[in-house]
Amino acid sequence: MVDFNSPDHVALATAISACTMLKSLQQGRKFHDIAMKYGLYSHILVSNSLLKMYIDCERIQDAREVFGRMVSKNIISWTEMIRGNVKKGRFNEGLKLLRHMNGDGITPDSRSVSTVLPTWARMAAHKHGKDIHAYLLRNRIDLNITLQNAVMDMYVKSGFIELASRVFTGMKERDVVSWTVMTIGYSLHGQGELAVESFQKMEEELRIEIDQFPEAAALLACNAALMVDKGRLYFDRIKEPKVGHYALMVSLLARAGLFDEARIFIEEQGIERQAEVLKALLDGCRIHQQGKLGKQVINQLCNLEPLNADNYILLSNWYANNDKWDKVDEIQQSIRDMGLKPKKAYSWIELKNKVHVFGTGDVSHPRSERIYWELKCLMNEMEGKGYKPITAFNLHDVDEERECIQIGHSELLAISFGLISTQTGTTIRVTKNLNVCCSCHDFSKFISKMVNREIVLKDPNRFHHFKNGSCSCRDFW
């Protein structure tokens, strides 16, 4: 306990850390006042504790004030402040602080950089991640295995699998994390064969017992490569499978069209009431146009998760695709009556350090007229070549997208904005918060061929690399 009559800096810092763990801003402020009253504020242990407390309690302005008043700062002080800014989306400020830190005579270590690198591992911040990597190389900061793994992971998750592979190839030593990151990376980017090969090489090189996390990566790789036999082999080696492992195995069987085997597997393993497993089965139904089975799975999901709006949206879309509009109206009314809020679709693209966000049917962007005109011209050209939009069994469509004209879908608006805002040949990189629908996926393939551009579209499950009329997922997503 803290003696309020004569507190010492260690006891006070400990008390502030407890407030951080409990996210108790009110108590943290009281200890801040005590630090000021007894002259302990200038002690770096106390100041760093206050800094972390305010950042974790989402009070970045208070953290800035503490940071600004600190008489001396160490690597922990700088790292926390960088983390706080990046956490709030202030990427440029975080990068600036990293440079000031070096200018202040404190060289960032692998731990400080690897703490903030994962935050840049997103499509909307890919430039910042590349800047950080360049900064590390220019300043000859020790790129130990932990930091190299973090850099690799950043490139994988921000859409640059080639750069991740380059880092991996250049590593003098690799651990299980290094191999797992690349195995997952190849899988996410539709390079299933390379993913399986990566996992096999990991087993040969490390010669250690592979735990459940890399085994999940192996199953993911088999999914991307549609290697059912290898998937069965890897699954049988898992001593204590988790729900995620079961879901990956069901996904592999369903994506390969082996629905009878998938059904038997689910029954034998007793996983009929696992939503993750059912959704994996539903993906296969969409891919192979298994409408009847898809309807059964959706009904199971609705019974299993009666307050999940996404399940009712799936059911609504199924009825819409079968022209049962009275049922669609009933479900939409039920959603409103239950007060459920379906997810809205958003897509975003980064250009010139600014993130542009588009919703379904969005007309708020200053260049909306030009964006829609570009899409309309492309659509007309495609229809002239015999292209017809896919409308059947789009289970991943949400109601607002289904009711909107196709060229109003958020990912197409973002792609169009990228086309009219960048030079010919530039890769377009877009992120969407929901899975891409079948029609937009098909449209994006055509666009990539017509304008001779690569389009990288990230959804919650994978990266779609559209190039010369094809997609890296091979239309199995």
How many other C-beta atoms can be found within 10 angstroms of the C-beta atom of residue 109? 15
Q: What are phi and psi of 191, to 5 degrees?
A: -105, 65
Residue 459 to residue 370: CA distance in whole angstroms: 25
pLDDT of residue 51: 94
For the stretch 63-96, pLDDT in tens is 999 999 998 899 899 989 988 887 777 766 777 7
Residue 88 to residue 119: CA distance in whole angstroms: 10
Residue 423 to residue 419: CA distance in whole angstroms: 8
pLDDT of residue 211: 67
- Cβ pair 23, 53 in contact under 8 A: no
Bin 323: left if φ > 0, else alpha if -120 < ψ < 50, else beta. Answer: left
For residue 124, is pLDDT > 50? no
- Cβ pair 9, 43 in contact under 8 A: yes
What would the mean pLDDT of 441-446 be, rounded to a whole number? Answer: 93
What would the mean pLDDT of 9-30 be, rounded to a whole number? Answer: 92
For the stretch 104-123, pLDDT in tens is 888 777 666 766 666 555 54
pLDDT of residue 223: 95
| 13-17, 364-368, 436-440: the lowest-pLDDT one | 436-440
Give the C-alpha distances (Å, rounded to integers) separating 207 from 204, 210, 342, 437, 441. Answer: 6, 9, 47, 42, 41
Domain positions in the chain: 346-471
What would the mean pLDDT of 314-322 be, rounded to a whole number? Answer: 86
For the stretch 263-288, pLDDT in tens is 999 999 999 999 999 999 999 998 89
Q: How many CA atoms, within 13 angstroms, populate the side-chain half-sphere of residue 303? A: 10
pLDDT of residue 128: 64
Max mean pLDDT range (114-128, 170-184, 347-361): 170-184
Q: What are phi and psi of 431, to 5 degrees?
A: -120, 140
Q: Residue 100's pLDDT band (boundaries 50, 70, 90)? A: confident
What would the mean pLDDT of 5-26 be, rounded to a whole number? Answer: 87
pLDDT of residue 123: 43
Model pTM above 0.85: no
Percentage above 90 pLDDT, the chain: 58
Give the C-alpha distances (Å, rounded to integers) separating 237 from 106, 184, 270. Answer: 47, 19, 19
- Look at residue 464 and give its three-state secondary structure: strand
For residue 354, is pLDDT > 90? no
pLDDT of residue 453: 96
